[in-house]
Amino acid sequence: MVWKVYLLRCCDGSLYCGVTKDVEARVSTHNAGKGAKYTRSRLPVELVAVSPDLGKRRAFQFEYHVKQLPAGQKRAAVLQARGVGGVERKSSANE
């Protein structure tokens, strides 16, 4: 199975990191208020980055790593992984 790690920017500017098999469906679920408890009160959310295809174990390891970082370093880690592991960064009007 193919898993991906995704990074969302919430309406308050905070970041949320998660793991899924279907990124588009998961972002829709978050924006419908049925995703993670953290994002429910911070809608709408915007997709910031998506990892390359990963195995389940590696995806959860990478998510854990990202979640341990301070907010400023989360974004930097994802952008750095882009060059190393092919993370696709979505464009944002806030940048």
User: Domain extents for the chain?
Assistant: 4-89
pTM above 0.85, yes or no: no
Domain 4-89 in CATH 3.40.1440.10? The answer is yes
Q: What are phi and psi of 70, to 5 degrees?
A: -65, 155
Q: In what order do the strands lie in the sheet with 46-50?
A: 15-20, 4-9, 46-50, 88-89
pLDDT in tens, 20-64: 999 999 999 999 999 999 999 999 999 988 888 889 998 899 999
